[in-house]
Structure formats: C-alpha cells, structure tokens
Amino acid sequence: MLWEVTQNLIKGLGQNAIIFFVTLVLALPLGMAVTFGEMSRIYPVRWSCRVLVWIIRGTPLMLQLFIVLYVPGLVFGAPFRSRMTAALIAFVINYAMYFAEIYRGALENIPKGQFEAGKVLGLSKRQVFFNIILFQIIKRITAPIGNEVITLVKDTSLARVIAVQEMLMQATRYTAYGLIWPLFYSLVFYLAATAVLTLVFGRLERRIAYASGE
C-alpha cells in the first residue's frame, strides 16, 4: 500500500511541478511588463494595468481558476479541453500581478537622484539602469519574490478544485477507503520543497548582501 500511495503521490507531484515551473517562467517577465504598464505615462495603459492588478489581487485564486475554466465555454462557446491549461493561465495571471507589485515597489523606492546622477556622468538611460539600478532592484525583490515562490509551492494544490490530478487530490482519494495517512504523507513532499526553496533564497540573499558590502 505504501508503494502504491507513493507512486500516485509522485504522479500528482508531477502536475504540481508543471504548474510551479510554468508559472514562474511566464509570470516573472509578465509581471515586469505589467509594472512598466502601471508606471506608463499613457493614462489608459496605466489605469488598465492598475485596475487589473487590483482585481486579481483582490479576488481568491480559487475563484479565478473557476472563471478561467468555465467563462470561455459559457460566454464564448469555446471551452477549454485541458483543465491543466486553464489552471496554468489562472496561475500565471495571478502571480504575475503579485510580482508586478513587488517590482513596482522596488522601482519606486530607488532614489530619483541616482537616475539624475547617471545622466550627469554622461550615461544613457540603459547604462544607468543596468550599471546602477538593476542590482539595487534585485536586492530589494529577492526576499519578497522568495516568499511568493514558496507560497506558489503550496498554492499549486488549489488546482484540484478544477479536477487537475495534482498530489493533494491523489492523496484525498484514499479517504474514500478510510485512509487518512496519505494526506499526512503528502505533507512530506510539500515540506521538502519549501525547505529547499527556503535554503536557496536564504543563500541568495546572503550572497547579495555580501556583494553589496553589508
């Protein structure tokens, strides 16, 4: 029984891993694009991006999963054939909005005098950004991005609400047979993943602090 449960949990873990990595790969750059939109001088673009961030951050991810899965079919007559695809779209959009706010906060906390000093030194905007500003942004976003990434590990379990066969859903099936220990067994996988990420981001923060002379 233990081997059977382990196999099914690992199978479900593969679905969690897909959601995790695809979300990170797509949401991190998308969040940056949204940040630039929020800071745009074009009012409609800035207003649209900020409203989008407000809506996504102000509503539950679980609700967003249902909306992404069912609205295209009910409203446009084009239902998703893959529940995993719907889950990925919902996760990417959700996390992109959170990353966008992290980026925006970091950018807005950079003293404007540094941009002006770069111009005085004859540096182009691109040189100022890559030579002076970028490292400071990375330093400011490492901890909050790390927290969001660790949260993402746990949030991948929400995909079960639209019947994605992820790990927690696999564990829950055994409760129909009066077995609850697979649920606690699944905790081992979540704890291992979050422990590894905590160590990785902790080490990264220390390296960045060392590089900045702290």
Q: What structural domains and CATH numbers belong to the chain?
A: 17-165 (1.10.3720.10)
- Provide the residue-wise pLDDT of the chain in tens; the chain has 214 residues: 888 999 999 999 999 999 999 999 999 999 999 999 999 999 999 999 999 999 999 999 999 999 999 999 888 888 888 999 999 999 999 999 999 999 999 988 887 777 777 777 777 777 777 777 888 888 899 999 999 999 999 999 999 999 999 999 999 999 988 899 999 999 999 999 999 999 999 999 888 877 665 5
Given this model, what pLDDT does residue 214 score?
A: 58
Question: Exposed (0-12), middle (13-18) or buried (19+): which is 148, by Cβ within 10 Å?
Answer: buried
Residue 93 CA from chain centroid, whole number:
9
Q: What angle do CA 47, 53, 54 make, to 5 degrees?
A: 85
Decide: 1 and 70 in contact? Cβ < 8 Å. no
CA distance 186 to 174: 12
> CA 57, CA 38: separation in Å to the nearest integer?
15
In angstroms, the CA 131 to CA 103 distance is: 18
Interatomic CA distance for residues 55 and 47, integer angstroms:
12
Residue 109 vs residues 61, 133, 137: alpha-carbon distances, Å: 28, 11, 9
pLDDT confidence of residue 98: 97
Predicted TM-score (pTM) of the model is 0.92
Alpha carbons 138 and 107: distance in angstroms, whole number: 10
Cα(49)–Cα(40) distance, rounded to whole angstroms?
9
How far apart (Å, rounded) are the C-alpha atoms in residues 30 and 22?
A: 12
Instruction: Report d(CA 155, CA 143) in Å as an integer.
Output: 18
* Pairwise CA distance, residues 28 & 126, whole Å: 20
Amino acid at 58: G
